[in-house]
């Protein structure tokens, strides 16, 4: 049996991943969501030998960046599962990989990052050797007008880190070549099963039109939900900034008390600070 593994990204998922990386001021890491499809084919060789080929494709649909570096692990690479599960919520079962963005040239995992990858591979519902890491880098050419992006997927298999081939749908495909459709993902199958119309009464282009209309309706509903989620996220970010300002102001007052020799343990720090400010 011949087994192959590859990664497939949609153009939308890839562009959003790069956009998140560009918006980050420093290095970034997070999780990649999707599912894994399998396709097994059999063929006969010239010697009448039955050859079995099992093809696995990791389909990535979207990325979830973490708030900061080291968000879900400590200095030794130990995973904080409770924190990670709370952060991912219902998306925990959709994680198929994690990504690491570095503003430097070259693809290289540190010893701690290798430990993190091995620990993460045991934290999800997929096989260890199918869990991958996407390393991304960004650099500028000599004249600095062009941003250069590079990416690579790796996995830990047979006691070594191996590269995994990557394919971005409809990117760099010659226009004159025959297009082979990819294996339908499980999420697409669930969407098709959820479409509410009588399939037995539809034929030919009629069923395609109804599928398209049903998908448009589902997309509109998802867009509204996404808009509400983004509004909540903006409000939470605003609240975080307000709390950070309050903490900063409180720290400045405490530092002012210390500089003026006030014993703030006796409860007179605020009074002394207000008199100094006056």
Q: What is the pLDDT of residues 115-168, one digit of tens each?
A: 999 999 888 888 888 999 999 887 776 666 677 778 889 999 888 898 998 888
Which pairing describes strands 147-157 and 160-168: parallel, antiparallel, or unpaired? antiparallel
Segment 10-52, tens digit of pLDDT: 888 888 888 888 777 788 899 999 888 888 777 776 676 777 8
Strands (E), the chain: 2-9, 28-44, 50-65, 95-102, 132-140, 147-157, 160-168
Band (pLDDT 50/70/90 cuts) for residue 266 is: very low
**pLDDT above 90 (res 182):** no
Residues in the chain, total: 278
Its pTM stands at 0.66
Which pairing describes strands 50-65 and 28-44: parallel, antiparallel, or unpaired? antiparallel
Lowest model confidence (mean pLDDT) among 87-101, 168-182, 202-216, 242-256: 168-182
- Residue-level pLDDT at 126: 86
Q: Which CATH number fits domain 2-194: 3.20.20.60, 2.40.50.140, 3.40.50.2300, 3.40.140.10?
A: 3.40.140.10
């Amino acid at each position: 049996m011949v087994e192959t593994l590859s990664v497939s990204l949609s153009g939308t998922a890839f562009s959003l991943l790069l956009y998140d990386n560009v918006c980050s001021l420093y290095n970034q890491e997070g999780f990649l969501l999707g599912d894994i499809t399998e396709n097994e084919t059999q063929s006969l060789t010239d010697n009448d030998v039955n050859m079995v080929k099992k093809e696995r494709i990791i389909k990535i649909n979207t990325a979830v960046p973490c708030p900061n570096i080291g968000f879900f692990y400590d200095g030794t690479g130990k995973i904080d599962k409770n924190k990670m599960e709370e952060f991912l919520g219902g998306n925990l079962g959709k994680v198929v990989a994690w990504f690491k963005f570095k503003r430097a040239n070259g693809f290289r995992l540190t010893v701690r990052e290798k430990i993190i990858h091995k620990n993460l591979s045991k934290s999800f519902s997929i096989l260890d050797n199918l869990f991958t890491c996407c390393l991304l880098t960004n650099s500028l050419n000599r004249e600095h007008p062009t941003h250069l992006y590079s990416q690579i997927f790796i996995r830990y298999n047979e006691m070594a880190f191996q590269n995994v081939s990557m394919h971005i749908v409809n990117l760099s495909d010659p226009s004159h070549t025959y297009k082979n459709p990819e294996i339908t993902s499980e999420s697409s199958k669930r969407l098709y099963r959820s479409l509410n119309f009588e399939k037995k009464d539809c034929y030919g282009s009629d069923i395609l039109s109804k599928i398209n209309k049903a998908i448009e309706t589902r997309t509109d509903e998802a867009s509204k939900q996404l808009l509400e989620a983004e509004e909540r996220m903006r409000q939470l970010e605003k609240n975080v900034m307000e709390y950070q300002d309050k903490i900063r102001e409180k720290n400045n007052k405490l530092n002012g008390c210390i500089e003026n020799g006030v014993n703030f343990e006796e409860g007179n720090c605020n009074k002394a600070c207000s008199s100094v400010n006056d």
